[in-house]
């Protein structure tokens, strides 16, 4: 057996050659959008062959094992291009294998469950489509969109424009290739990092789809049977398909296609965003910074109704200031393509014309192909699965975590859910609290929130005091050019305990966590007003806001 490899700036392309009956067959692993970047540490890997000769359609398979014992399997197939290998059927082995845990889905919940169990010394299988290793969050969702946002901020000169409102210096012509390259590089590195975390663990990646045979057995496409002591369903969600919007992934897109190879970094003169939820507004904000004229359509009358109303008003003011038009309280009937334009029909009879449409409505769970009825499990109308506080379903050996269990459907909480589920399976004490969950919204400007809003406190009859720090009051705020951001703290008046933190502006999702931890520890306004923070920093906003609240109470 021999191997050859080339490394280029951290990207490892490995060719594994297996000699069997005098014939050489090769399988290349490791590519920008390939999941099997186990060869990142190529020089610490050894190779083994299991089964029959590696010929097309055979039951043979190859495995990669690091010296510490980790095994990752990849399909046995002749060498061909990465694109061809992503689109052609994968060869399978007929050999049934038993694992302690089989995880269906490799997103934040599934991956972290596998990692947690692997660190306990358990034998784990991760099952997912080859091109989706890391899940939607890594491949098409949160990570690509946040990387795209960062690229937009970098190439657009947005930060400089904060210093020169109305007279911003000229910026270079925005290169779509630059935007796409930055996103692809982030995804590539994250795939490699995910692979690195599994090194030394007995975790096997099995590319493909699976369905239940019974509560401990999964049948994979191609004939492989996997049995496990426990099975975790963490297969995530997909975009809802509006019956009147024929998504073509070109002029009419959804959030799963906007970061695809064909569309990533695409800049259009006009864009209609259907859905004013978090995802829709994040993309609307990015497009507006790039100079696109954006129209946001949503049947709801309010923008992000779960937000503090003052923060939501600030966001809307920022977006309308960049030319974003909001059609709230309007229902879309359908859309059709006419040449290179999209015609949108609203329920009120209005017709809109735009260059591209992005459907960013709600999502549905990827549970419809699992044959859940075989094991006696059912889902709701969106495909979501009911679980208990330890993420166990009605079937004792089957757990579910991540977006498929519903609220809050955040990557951060999905990671925790995967950890809790795996810990509970194998008897390791573990806690999970749904209280004080931080939320980050990566619009431009970004938003962070945790705890209660003024409306919630008022509805519960809790007396409260508000303290505000505007970024313009901070030296650091002036240095970075953010004159409009703000931190809003809400305290109950009896014990001065911090109950809510709401931030909008530069680094809001980072600034948030000082308040988050303070809340978890039962901190007060005196605790924050007495604290000493580095100067000049954005963290000083807490001292300013706490002092503001204290002053209002003492008046």
Residue 6 is predicted with a pLDDT of: 33
For residue 387, report the phi and psi dihedrals to the nearest 5 degrees: -135, 165
- The reported pLDDT for the residue numbered 434 is 63
Parallel/antiparallel/unpaired status of strands 2-8 and 11-20 = antiparallel
Sequence-distant (6+) residues with CB within 8 A of 518 are 498, 527, 528, 542
Residue 371: exposure state from Cβ atoms within 10 A (0-12, 13-18, ≥19):
middle
Cβ atoms < 10 Å from Cβ of 193: 13
The topology (CATH level 3) of 252-361 is FAD/NAD(P)-binding domain (3.50.50)
pLDDT, position 72 = 41
Predicted local distance difference test score (pLDDT) of residue 410? 87
Tell me if the pTM is above 0.85.
no
Within 8 A by CB and 6+ apart from 157, the residues are 168, 169, 171, 172
CB atoms within 10 A of CB 349: 7
Positions of CATH 3.50.50.60 in the chain: 252-361
SS3 for 374? helix
Tokens of 441: 């919204």
β-strand partners of 336: 343
Please give the pLDDT value at position 169.
54
Residue with tokens 């379903």: 393
- The ranges of the chain annotated as CATH 3.30.390.30 are 445-554
CATH of domain 445-554: 3.30.390.30
CA distance 387 to 118: 23
Dmax over CA atoms of the chain, in Å, equals: 90
Q: Per the structure block, which two tokens stand in for 438? A: 């931080």
pLDDT (0 to 100) of residue 256: 81
Least Cα distance to 354 among 340, 365, 371, 366 occurs for 340
28: three-class secondary structure by DSSP: strand
pLDDT for residue 17: 31
Q: Which residues contact 22 (CB under 8 A, 6 or more apart)?
A: none
Question: Distance between CA 5 and CA 348 in Å, rounded?
Answer: 61
Q: Three-state SS across 234-246? A: CCCEEECCCCCCC
Q: What are the pLDDT tens digits along the chain (555 aa)?
A: 333 333 333 333 233 333 333 332 333 333 333 333 333 322 233 333 333 332 233 333 333 333 333 344 433 333 333 322 322 223 334 447 899 999 999 999 999 999 999 999 999 999 999 889 988 888 888 899 998 899 888 888 787 777 766 655 555 566 777 778 888 899 999 999 999 999 999 999 999 999 999 999 999 988 889 999 999 999 999 988 899 999 998 899 998 888 776 566 678 899 999 999 999 999 999 999 988 999 999 999 999 999 999 999 999 999 999 999 999 999 999 999 999 999 999 999 999 999 999 999 888 999 999 999 999 999 998 899 999 999 999 999 999 999 999 988 889 899 999 999 999 999 998 876 666 789 999 999 999 999 999 999 999 999 999 999 999 999 999 999 999 999 999 999 999 999 999 999 999 999 999 999 999 999 999 999 999 999 999 999 999 999 999 999 987
Distance CA 499, CA 491 (A): 5
Task: Enter the tokens of residue 108.
Answer: 């934040």
Gyration radius (Cα) of the chain, Å: 25
């Amino acid at each position: 057996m021999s191997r050859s490899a080339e490394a280029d700036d951290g990207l490892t392309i490995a060719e594994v050659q297996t000699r069997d009956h005098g014939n050489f067959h090769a399988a290349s692993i490791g590519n920008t959008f390939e999941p099997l970047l186990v060869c990142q540490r190529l020089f610490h890997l050894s190779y083994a062959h299991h089964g029959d000769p590696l010929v097309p359609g055979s039951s043979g398979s190859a495995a990669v094992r690091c010296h510490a014992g980790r095994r990752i399997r990849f399909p046995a197939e002749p060498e061909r291009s990465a694109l061809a290998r992503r689109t052609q059927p994968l060869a399978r082995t007929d050999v049934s294998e038993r694992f302690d845990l089989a995880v269906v889905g490799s997103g934040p919940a599934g991956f972290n469950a596998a990692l947690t169990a692997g660190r306990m010394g358990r034998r784990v299988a991760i099952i997912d489509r080859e091109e989706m290793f890391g899940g939607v969050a890594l491949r098409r969702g949160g990570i690509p969109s946040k990387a795209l946002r960062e690229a937009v901020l970098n190439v657009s000169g947005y930060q400089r424009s904060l210093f020169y409102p109305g007279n911003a210096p000229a910026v270079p012509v925005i290169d779509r290739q630059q935007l796409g390259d930055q996103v692809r590089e982030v995804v590539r590195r994250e795939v490699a990092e995910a692979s690195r975390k599994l090194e030394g663990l007995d975790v096997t990646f099995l590319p493909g789809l699976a369905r239940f045979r019974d509560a401990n057995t999964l049948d994979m496409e191609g004939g492989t049977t996997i049995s496990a002591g426990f099975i975790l369903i963490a297969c995530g969600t997909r975009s809802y398909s509006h019956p009147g919007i024929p998504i073509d992934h070109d002029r009419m897109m959804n959030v799963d296609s906007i970061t695809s190879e064909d569309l990533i970094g695409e800049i259009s003169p006009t864009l209609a965003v259907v859905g004013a939820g978090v995802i829709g507004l994040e993309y609307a904000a990015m497009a507006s910074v790039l100079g696109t004229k954006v129209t946001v359509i949503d049947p709801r009358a309010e923008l992000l109704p779960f937000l503090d109303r003052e923060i939501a008003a600030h966001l809307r003011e920022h977006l309308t200031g960049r030319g974003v038009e909001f059609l709230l309280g309007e229902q879309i009937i359908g859309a059709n393509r006419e040449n290179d334009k999209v015609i949108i029909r609203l329920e009120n009879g209005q017709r809109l014309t735009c260059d591209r449409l992005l459907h960013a409505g709600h999502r549905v769970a990827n549970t419809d192909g699992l044959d859940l009825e075989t094991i006696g499990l059912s889902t709701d109308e969106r495909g979501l699965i009911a679980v208990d506080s330890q993420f166990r379903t009605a079937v004792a050996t089957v757990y579910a975590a991540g977006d498929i269990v519903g609220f809050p459907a955040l990557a951060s909480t999905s990671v925790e859910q995967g950890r809790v589920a795996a810990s509970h399976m194998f008897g390791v004490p573990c806690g999970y609290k749904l209280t004080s969950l931080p939320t980050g919204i990566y619009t431009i400007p970004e938003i962070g929130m945790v705890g209660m809003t003024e409306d919630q406190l008022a509805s519960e009859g809790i007396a409260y005091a508000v303290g505000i720090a505007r970024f313009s009051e901070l030296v650091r705020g002036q240095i970075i050019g953010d004159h409009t951001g703000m931190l809003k703290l809400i305290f109950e008046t009896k014990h001065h305990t911090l109950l809510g933190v709401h931030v909008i502006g530069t680094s809001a999702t980072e600034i948030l966590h000082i308040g988050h931890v303070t809340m978890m520890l039962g901190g007060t306004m005196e605790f924050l007003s007495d604290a000493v923070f580095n100067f000049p920093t954005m963290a000083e906003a807490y001292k300013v806001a706490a002092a503001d609240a204290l002053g209002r109470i003492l008046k």
